[in-house]
Amino acid sequence: MAINLDSLSPAELQALIKNAEAQMESSRKNQIQEVRTKIEALLKSSRLSIDEVYPRRGGKAAKGTKAAVAPKYRNPANATQTWSGRGKRPLWFVDALKKRGVTAESLLIEGATKKAPAKAAKKAARKTAKKASARKAAKK
């Protein structure tokens, strides 16, 4: 089936391209379905499952690899942006801390800390008292 492309108008060429792309997509879907059918028949005849042939990821972590860490902080402007608290601080975290009244504690995801709220409050109070006494000593 030879088509003389030189004799076609731009609109006809565009229609030909759309038809060819639709035909290519249809052929691709048919090819995928045929391969799946062959694979399923082969697995069934050998009494194996796809999971046995291709183990999935996400099982036990390999020795020496680090497990993923749950997110600890969430961006108030965009809830999809989170940070585990490890590694370099993301830009959204740094920018948020520059705003008045925003602290790292205010960006924490609820239930993300291991410390009890009372312990964290006591620790913060001790830290502020220590800073105040250091300022007084520096003034003298």
The overall average pLDDT reported for the chain is: 83
**What's the pLDDT band for 24 if we cut at 50, 70, 90?**
very high
- The residue-averaged pLDDT of 70-86 equals 88
The answer to whether residues 79 and 116 belong to one domain is: yes
Tell me if 122 sits within 8 A of 81, measured CB to CB. Answer: no
Asked if residue 111 is part of any domain, the answer here is yes
Q: Give domain status of residue 58, yes or no.
A: no
Residue 13 CB contacts under 8 Å (≥ 6 apart), including other chains: 5
Q: Tell me how many domains the chain contains.
A: 2
pLDDT band at 130 (very low <50, low <70, confident <90, very high): confident
- Mean pLDDT lowest for which of 2-11, 61-70, 111-120? 111-120
Say how far apart CA 127 and CA 29 lie, in whole Å. Answer: 65
Q: Residue 126: give the domain boundaries.
A: 73-131
Q: What is the pLDDT of residue 64?
A: 59
- In contact, 59 and 47? CB cutoff 8 Å: no
Pick the more confident residue, 27 or 106: 27
* pLDDT higher at 67 or 37: 37
- Regarding whether 127 and 83 lie in a shared domain, the answer is yes
Q: Are residues 80 and 38 in the same domain?
A: no
- Per-residue CA distances from 75 to 101, 117, 129 (Å): 15, 21, 30
Average pLDDT over residues 43-51: 90
Measured CA to CA, the distance from residue 110 to residue 96 in angstroms comes to 17
Do 48 and 77 have their domain in common?
no
Summarised one tens digit per residue, pLDDT across range 8-22 is 899 999 999 999 999
Read off the DSSP letter of residue 109. P
